[in-house]
Amino acid sequence: MSLFGTRKDEEIGEAPVTGPPAPAAPPPPAAPSAPRSFFGRGEDEMANIGKSITIKGDLTGNEDIVIEGTVEGKVDFPSNQLTIGANGTAKAEIKAKAIVVIGKVSGNVQGTERVEIQATGVVEGDVSAPRLVVAEGAVLNGSIHMTQPKSTHEAKPHEASRLLVGEARKVAG
């Protein structure tokens, strides 16, 4: 049958031309979500030292790392997050941008931004950081040294208010 249903189409007996319904396009496959670090950043996967691994010596790098095994020596990740996992043990001097202790550390811990000791975490040593979080149930046996954040360009509150008053006088005068 044609669009206007002419008589010629009816005489021939043609049925309207319709095809099978078009199959719906399958939804696009979900993109795998990027692993998220403790601070919620969607970044590359963290390096992992498994629980059967033991490292004796210096450990350095430039990526976030999770230690589930044992490390003895010196650990230095100045620009990254270092996590001592639930099965992790470190007999080491540790320095990193951010440190999360879920397992056990014997040695001094220095975080240039932050140190967090979770409820199952144990630190036997001194802790130095501008921000420190110690969860209820965590163990910390050592001294705590709270350092100043590294931002030097921040105005002190009384200096900022003095600037605002001075600006107001210029506008009013």
Quote the tokens at residue 40. Answer: 């919620």
Residue 72 in domain: yes
Quote the tokens at residue 101. Answer: 């202790």
Residue 14 in domain: no
The residue assigned the tokens 């110690």 is: 134
pLDDT at 2 over 80: no
Neighbours of 114 (CB within 10 A): 18
Domain that holds residue 117: 65-140
Q: What is the mean pLDDT of residues 2-11?
A: 54
Amino acid at 146: M
For 129-164, write each residue's pLDDT tens digit.
999 999 999 999 999 999 777 654 444 444 444 444
Q: What is the mean pLDDT of the chain?
A: 78
Q: How many helices (H) and strands (E) does the chain have?
A: 2, 12
The phi, psi pair for 121, rounded to 5°, reads: -80, 145
Looking at the chain, how many residues does it have?
173
Quote the tokens at residue 64. Answer: 């976030």
Residue 94 in domain: yes
Amino acid at 42: G
What pLDDT score was predicted for residue 36?
41
Longest pairwise C-alpha distance within the chain: 101
Q: What is the mean pLDDT of residues 85-114?
A: 97
Residue 33 in domain: no
DSSP string, 11-73: HHTPPP--PPPPPPPPPPPPPPPPPB-TT--B-SPPEEE-TT-EEEEEEE-SS-EEE-SEEEE
The phi, psi pair for 157, rounded to 5°, reads: -55, -40
Q: How many domains does the chain have?
A: 1
Residue 34 in domain: no
Residue 170 in domain: no
What pLDDT score was predicted for residue 89?
97
d(CA 38, CA 66): 11
Residue 1 in domain: no
For 49-70, write each residue's pLDDT tens digit.
999 999 999 999 999 999 999 9
d(CA 60, CA 78): 9
Quote the tokens at residue 91. Answer: 């007999």
Confirm if 90 and 106 have CB atoms less than 8 A apart.
yes
Residue 100 in domain: yes
Confirm if 140 and 119 have CB atoms less than 8 A apart.
no
d(CA 13, CA 73): 90
